[in-house]
Amino acid sequence: MKALGMTFDYRKIFREIADDTTDMNDLGHVADYIPELKHINPEKFGVHLTTLDNHHYDFGDASEKFSIQSIAKVFSLILAFKNEGVSIWNRVGVEPSGSPFNSLVQLEYEKGIPRNPFINAGALVVSDILISYLENPKEEFLSFVRLLANSNEINYNKSVAESEKSTGERNSALVHFMKSFGNIENDPDQVLDFYFYLCSVEMNCIELSRAFLFLANRGTDPLTNNKILTPSKAKRVNAIMQMCGFYDEAGDFAFKVGLPGKSGVGGGIAAVLPGEYSIAVWSPRLNSKGNSYKGMKFLEKFTTKTNSSIF
């Protein structure tokens, strides 16, 4: 946690860290295996921090939209958890995978039950749950994200969704494989379509930071007093982010950064310090694990400079 009584000039700290990480500007690669994402400018960098008492601090390209990709899996998990309750854990686990996010091998060994909701298989099961509960899944999911971010300017990027669909053979294999184990209840094509669209949601760092703020406040939006989750459920979502939010680099993020968070291959990272703030960082170049190269380094330096960590 942040040392008691300490206040920071966050914008000054952002500038200092950005200067320190200039030599990282050319490291990593954009997610070119998704055709639409390979066109993004790899030099983009933005950050936005929102405090529980409604102070905002930004830097760089914080207001520019980008594809949040797997960060959206946090929102889909929350919405499914609200509807399904604790029985959701009968269909998806809460353990780190230790395997690539699109692995089939582990899924076979564990009889169609994904390790956690943030690997692709787990997010597909969560998508299946939402389709069972929601009358208009795409519309209702988007409305939920807009509610969390307090913004009606959030939309799907159809081109990104269709691009992912055109290269989604492994995701198709995952959902059909789980169907064979009885862990997919709806039509696999419908599940895949919804999954590709939820990953295509576009937000900026300002909206993303705002959308995660309730997770820093025991499940209640501190700016609207809207109760999104119970404190108990919020605690569990934060725990899953801490353990599983960064593919098979979650342990490294916990070790170096010390915040619950979630990354996406669009280059975004969202994280929270419970009781203090939420923060979103965007830098499109990815490391070998699929996480933002500069974003990971930035957050490591940020929590070190501010002495802010859950540990």
Q: 201-203 and 66-67 as β-strands: parallel, antiparallel, unpaired?
A: antiparallel
CA angle 279, 253, 218 (to 5 degrees): 45
Q: Is 157 annotated as a binding residue?
A: no
Assess contact for 212 and 204: CB atoms under 8 A.
no
Helices 188-199, 137-149: crossing angle, 10 deg rounding: 30
CA angle 152, 157, 162 (to 5 degrees): 150
Assess contact for 292 and 285: CB atoms under 8 A.
yes
Q: Is 195 annotated as a binding residue?
A: yes
Helices 72-84, 188-199: crossing angle, 10 deg rounding: 130
Q: Is 159 annotated as a binding residue?
A: no
CA distances from 39 to 28, 32, 93, 168, 267 (A): 15, 8, 35, 19, 13
Q: Which residue has the tokens 């919405």?
A: 79
Q: Is 164 annotated as a binding residue?
A: yes
Distance CA 309, CA 300 (A): 10
Q: Is 109 annotated as a binding residue?
A: no
Assess contact for 262 and 71: CB atoms under 8 A.
yes
Q: Is 139 annotated as a binding residue?
A: no
Distance CA 241, CA 117 (A): 10
Phi-psi region of 186 (alpha: psi -120 to 50; beta: other; left: phi over 0): beta
Tell which residue, 100, 101, 125, has the closest CA to residue 111: 125
Q: Is 120 annotated as a binding residue?
A: yes
Annotated binding site for substrate: 70, 120, 164, 171, 195, 247, 265
Annotated binding site: 70, 120, 164, 171, 195, 247, 265
